[in-house]
Structure formats: structure tokens, C-alpha cells
Amino acid sequence: MIEHFKALQLTVVELPIEFEEERPLYRAYLKELPFLAGEGNSKQVMYRRLMEKYQIYVETQREAQKEEQEEEMTSALLSVSDLMKYYDGETFDGFSYDFTQDK
């Protein structure tokens, strides 16, 4: 399982083994993303849970990025006619148009 993290260029930091009710408890977190941690009664379970949390994190990041790209609407994305339709006298950042070309 550790090979999967190495392939993703992530470092797993294993914490010392603790015992709860005479059973070992393994804990670890990702060095690059310390808020992602996993624990389990064996190293295999710990790594599986850590990978599951990482996959959920990646999925939510992709969804957030996709929503952000969909929401982004700037004057650069509008045609001149659409832009002039909503023009209220303000100068748009980065907007320049040579009106002499229309003649």
C-alpha cells in the first residue's frame, strides 16, 4: 500500500503504536496533507483508510475546481455586442477595443 503513496509522491508519517484495550492501534498521516490521517488495528487497515480519505479529498478538490471554473465569468469571455449590452459607463479591467476598425 505504501507504494501507492510513493507513486503519488506523498510521504506517510507513521506514529508510534498505541494500545487500546490490549489491541494495537496504528496511526499515520500524510506529510504533505497533515489533516489527512488514518488509523486501524493493523498497518494494512491504516493504509487503506488513509488512501480512502485521500481519494475523498482529491474528489472534493476536483469538484470544487470544476465549480470554480464554471462560475468564472469575466468580460474577456463576452463578445463585444454582449459586453455593450450590459455597459453602464464603467471601464472594464483589461478591456480595450479599437472602434476605428469597424469603419
Verdict on whether the full-model pTM lies above 0.85: no
Nearest one of 3, 49, 12 to 33, comparing CA atoms: 12
Spatial separation of the C-alpha atoms in residues 29 and 15, rounded to whole Å:
8
* CB within 8 Å of 11: residues ≥ 6 apart: 5, 30, 31, 32
* CB within 8 Å of 33: residues ≥ 6 apart: 10, 54, 57
Q: Which fold has domain 2-87?
A: Double Stranded RNA Binding Domain (3.30.160)
Nearest one of 38, 19, 20 to 29, comparing CA atoms: 38
Segment 57-83 mean pLDDT: 77
**What is the predicted pLDDT for the residue at 5?**
87
Q: pLDDT per residue over 6-60, tens digit each?
A: 999 999 999 999 999 999 999 999 999 999 999 999 999 999 999 999 999 999 9
Q: Where are the domains of the chain?
A: 2-87
